Amino acid sequence: MTPRSASTVAPARPGARRGVADGLGTSAARPDGIPKVRGRFAFSSDAFAEGMLWGRTLRSPHPAARIRSIDVSGALRMPGVHAVLTADDVPGAPTYGLEHADQPVFASDVVRYQGEAVAAVAADHPELAWRAVQAIAVDYEPLDPLVDAEAAITAPAIHPDGNVFRHLRIRHGDPDAAGDVAVQGTYEVGMQDQAFLGPESGLAVPDGDGGIDLYISTQWLHVDRDQVAACLGLPPERVRLTLAGVGGAFGAREDVSLQVHVCLLALRTGRPVKMLYSREESFFGHVHRHPARMAYRHHATADGDLVKVEARLVLDGGAYASSSTAVIANAACFAAGPYRVPNAVVDGWAVRTNNPPCGAMRGFGAVQACFAHEAQMDRLATALGMDPVELRLRNALRTGDTLITGQVITGTAPVREVIEAARAHPLPPDPAEGDPAMALPGGAGATALRADVRRGVGFAVGFKNLMYSEGFDDFSTAGVRLELAADGEPVATVHCAAAEVGQGFVTLAQQIVRSALGVERVVLRSADTTVGSAGSTSASRQTWMSGGAVQTACEAVEEVLLHRVGERHGIPVDGTRRQLLDLRDGVVVAVDGDLRVSVAEALAEGPVEEVRTYHHPPTSPLDADGQGNAHVSFAFAAHRAVADVDLELGLIRVVQIATGQDVGRALNPVQVIGQIEGGIAQGLGLAVMEEIVLDGGRIRNASFTDYLIPTSLDMPPVLATLIEQPEPGAPVLGAKGVGEPPTISSTPAVVAAIRAATGAPLTRVPVRPQDIALAPGVGSSTAENDA
Amino acid sequence: MTGNHPLAAESETYELSVNGRREQVKAAWLGESLLSVLRERLGLPGAKNACEQGECGSCSVFVDGILVCSCCVLAADAVDAEVTTVEGLADGDALTDVQQSFLAAGAVQCGFCTPGLVVAVHDLLDRNPDPGDLEVREAISGNLCRCTGYGRILAAVEAVRDQRGRRSRP
């Protein structure tokens, strides 16, 4: 029997208030779907301008070196080369950064990682640009790179700002508390790459008046704009950014890559300039997931109640700060997992090294911690002689419980429900003789003998915060304009700078407007910086934040419409009389009378346009003991993985993943399933194949030949159950963000399944064949012993 | 590019046949891949540039009916061949059954892999109208997708296979 996809997709439901088609709760179609299947959707790499030049970056071959001199004359002399820029050509701020401006636009005195930008050129043809960067002579004095994160804490500083980005200390309850049983372990997570498919690219067009327009794939237009403007030495309003089609993001587009370089080249040459990274350059051009080393000790009573969690987490932030201070906060805040833990001692460190810079990737710190705390929960279950799922259920967080940061969970926390939902899915059929070789570990290689294959089942639970935390003023802005189209029908236009990166916010924005205003035709303006910031497409925040902004703007438009109709018909609509009129299915109706005025009639006297800014409830910073109400809301998921393992060769085939996920409300069930399946694929990748391999700070596998991401043959069927408990205070029907939880606990679930199949300890991800085949008592080591 | 351009000595003018039309490629550097010429010179950006070393399938096109990664074919090497890109699959503004099924199943997220997958799925189902699950997975395993985890893509392919099967039944 061949495996078949059997994901559970919830049936479409009508919207909350309005009966309009394709509103909230339906699996409405993406507005960009047709151009995408036809190949006509304009990604940033498709941008074109008449007479444009091609930009290219020169990057350091060394992870650490002093720059003795840079000679650009050879490149400048080449016909067809129009500009060669170095640090001396940066008119504004010499450095940039997402949270701390510590990264040079171009290195001038030292380079701190392999791939750091040193110069950029603009030429008539991409090949000429490549030849030009080869012709730049840089005299480096290589230095010993600092590549050990633990050593970096005390090593001499490799940057004027020091080596420690942040040390976060959490002390909760009694630090001396102890239980009947303690288990400990040290765990490691390798450096994962976001590996979005659409490479970094952008087109900068000078406006002829000293300003610039940049068409760019990014996750946050306004924070890019502010960094670019500072480095160009221009006021922000002279720098206009428009979102060009984004080919995936997953955190890697939160930081500036080529934005400053391409604008500098365009302003210098006075011509449009396009930059487009190759896949190899992309590996050097964006931040990665922080590698982590995590030492844990869990204490519990003999009955299985968690007593205390001790953890020391060291995250390697690489050469520049990026979002390291926030990533370590997440790793530390969620270090104990979604469980009641009365006492905790956690020390989180994020440090600077000469490794590639690390920053945001889907799951953002929670991924690393979850791999460790879930391995610990399994160890604890073994020590207690308990079923690992029962141990998790026994300690599962509930509303009203207190986190190790002292914050009481006031929102929904269906931890028990997600665990039970994941467990309730049917297991796949047992392997049988006659299964095709393709279905065994090793696949088309046909390397596995059925007799060498063992099956294991593993379980894991994870959670993280939604939106920005620790007192950050997090907001989004949206404008909604309602007017009559040329054919006399009402049409709504949404203007919001939220970056659509594939997740489907564009669909959701349309659904919100349809349900709120009863208007089916909804147009989206380009996301750009002529409207206020929408914040970042990260932290699972746009459904809540920009969804909230669109919803709030719709409510403001409705208010204006009701006023209009009320004034025209002598119905006062202020104060308590407001309830006499309502907007239902695109018609303004008097609730106690016969009045019915269509939206089209109400719009006859002109359009209605309202812009609103939505802020989530304020949060607090963490105090000196890491205590505080730092987070707004949390999302939970559980995963059960089934894996077949070839013990001799250490090859793995994941057979099935079942999940329960806390979504609040599924506003577009098919899109939610897409996030769940896609997020699980990235979690599976981290479990068994994805790692940027470093050797003395140098990347050894900067290509899709050598950095492997899951293919259709690696991904098993996913069985998903959506747990819908609307979150109080979430502005769009109680929906939570859904993008990150699938990536958090899928990794430890897969590794737990491999442990169950092999008995190998597997304290590091990704699990490599030798971690299995050469583990004591497993695979070929057994064979050697037998021989 | 002008005659005295530094790449002029390495450039040629030639004709390609793409989606049934003869296209002149003027004074193009001979090192340009078919992918590059389609995208940058012929206004056909549907084939995508994700790895440029034949690993991801985003640039999939047909050359004389054979599914290839256009990043790994020199454009000048395709002079006497018939090239079909994603833009040439459907008649006019219509959508093919595969394109429709991708939309209906929710197989599209960022969409960067989508054109290559649409081409690869046409290739599969035109060669093998009734593939099993493993055959489908193997056929598209050269097309990387980073957003979807493939679940909705596989659902889309199964739906087209089943539709075509029903249609061809007597």
Q: How close are the terminal C-alpha atoms of chain B, in Å?
A: 58
Statement to judge: residues B14 and B77 lie in one domain: yes
Q: Are the CB atoms for A642 and A428 separated by under 8 Å?
A: yes
Statement to judge: residues B58 and B105 lie in one domain: no
**How far apart, in whole angstroms, are the C-alpha atoms of residue B13 and residue B116?**
28
Q: Cβ B147–A674 below 8 Å, yes or no?
A: yes
Considering A4-8, A575-579, A755-759, the range whose residues carry the highest mean pLDDT is: A755-759
Percent of chain A with pLDDT over 70: 96
Q: Cβ A197–B48 below 8 Å, yes or no?
A: yes
Statement to judge: residues B72 and B103 lie in one domain: no
CATH number at residue B139: 1.10.150.120
Amino acid A14: pLDDT: 39
Q: Does the pLDDT at position A689 exceed 80?
A: yes
Statement to judge: residues B14 and B80 lie in one domain: yes
The answer to whether the predicted template modeling score (pTM) of the entire model surpasses 0.90 is yes
Predicted-complex ipTM score:
0.98
Statement to judge: residues B104 and B150 lie in one domain: yes
Average pLDDT, chain A: 95
- What is residue A690's DSSP assignment? -
Question: Would you say the C-alpha torsion A433, A438, A440, A445 has a positive or negative sign?
Answer: positive
**How far apart, in whole angstroms, are the C-alpha atoms of residue B49 and residue B52?**
6
Q: What is the per-residue pLDDT across A399-443, written as a single tens digit (0 to 9) for each?
A: 999 999 999 999 999 999 999 999 999 999 998 888 888 899 999
Statement to judge: residues B57 and B103 lie in one domain: no
- Total count of domains within chain B: 2
| Domain stops at, among B68, B87, B106 | B87
Identify all chain B residues contacting A197, using CB atoms and an 8 Å cutoff: 48, 50, 56, 58, 110, 112-113, 144-146
The tokens describing A350, both together, are 């994020």
Q: DSSP assignment of A130-164, as one string? A: HHHHHT-EEEEEE------HHHHTTSPPSSTT-SE
Statement to judge: residues B110 and B159 lie in one domain: yes
**Residue A766, preceding peptide bond in cis (omega within 30° of 0):** yes
Is B158 inside any structural domain? yes
Q: Domains of chain A, with CATH numbers?
A: 33-41+475-615 (3.30.365.10)
- What amino acid occupies position A620? S
For residue B91, count other CB atoms closer than 10 A to its CB: 8
E-state strands within A553-607: 581-584, 587-590, 596-598
Q: Does the pLDDT at position A15 exceed 70?
A: no
**How far apart, in whole angstroms, are the C-alpha atoms of residue A42 and residue A48?**
10
Q: Are the CB atoms for A645 and A778 separated by under 8 Å?
A: no
**A347 has which bridge partners?**
A169, A312
Of A2, A198, A705, the CB nearest to B110: A198
**How far apart, in whole angstroms, are the C-alpha atoms of residue A25 and residue A4?**
26
Statement to judge: residues B60 and B110 lie in one domain: no
Identify all chain A residues contacting B115, using CB atoms and an 8 Å cutoff: 36-39
Nearest to A645 by CA among A430, A441, A447: A441
Of A37, A195, A677, the CB nearest to B102: A37
Q: What is the per-residue pLDDT across A283-328, written as a single tens digit (0 to 9) for each?
A: 999 999 999 999 999 999 999 999 999 999 999 999 999 999 999 9
Identify all chain B residues contacting A80, using CB atoms and an 8 Å cutoff: 5-7
Statement to judge: residues B39 and B64 lie in one domain: yes
Q: What is the per-residue pLDDT across B67-86, written as a single tens digit (0 to 9) for each?
A: 999 999 999 999 999 999 99
The tokens describing A276, both together, are 């487009």
Nearest to B97 by CA among B48, B158, B19, B46: B158
For residue B121, count other CB atoms closer than 10 A to its CB: 27
Is B118 inside any structural domain? yes
Task: At A292, give phi and psi (nearest 5°).
Answer: -140, 145
| Domain stops at, among B87, B116, B143 | B87
Of A2, A42, A681, the CB nearest to B132: A2
The tokens describing B23, both together, are 């296209």
Contacts of A557 (CB under 8 A, 6+ apart): A480, A481, A482, A492, A517, A608, A609, A610
Is B3 inside any structural domain? no
The tokens describing A379, both together, are 């160890």
- Tokens 């919803």 — which residue? A551
Domain with B20, as residue range(s), is 8-87
CA dist A272 to A54, A73, A242, B144, Å? Answer: 9, 23, 15, 32
Statement to judge: residues B26 and B65 lie in one domain: yes
Amino acid A576: pLDDT: 59
Statement to judge: residues B83 and B105 lie in one domain: no
For residue B100, the distance in angstroms to the closest alpha carbon of chain A comes to: 8
| Domain stops at, among B87, B108, B141 | B87
Nearest to A140 by CA among A227, A41, A61: A61
Statement to judge: residues B102 and B79 lie in one domain: no
Amino acid A43: pLDDT: 98
The tokens describing B151, both together, are 């679940």
For residue B133, the distance in angstroms to the closest alpha carbon of chain A comes to: 7
Is B92 inside any structural domain? no
Residue from B102, B108, B135 whose CB has the most chain A CBs within 10 Å, to mutate: B108
Is B124 inside any structural domain? yes
CATH number at residue B83: 3.10.20.30
Is B156 inside any structural domain? yes
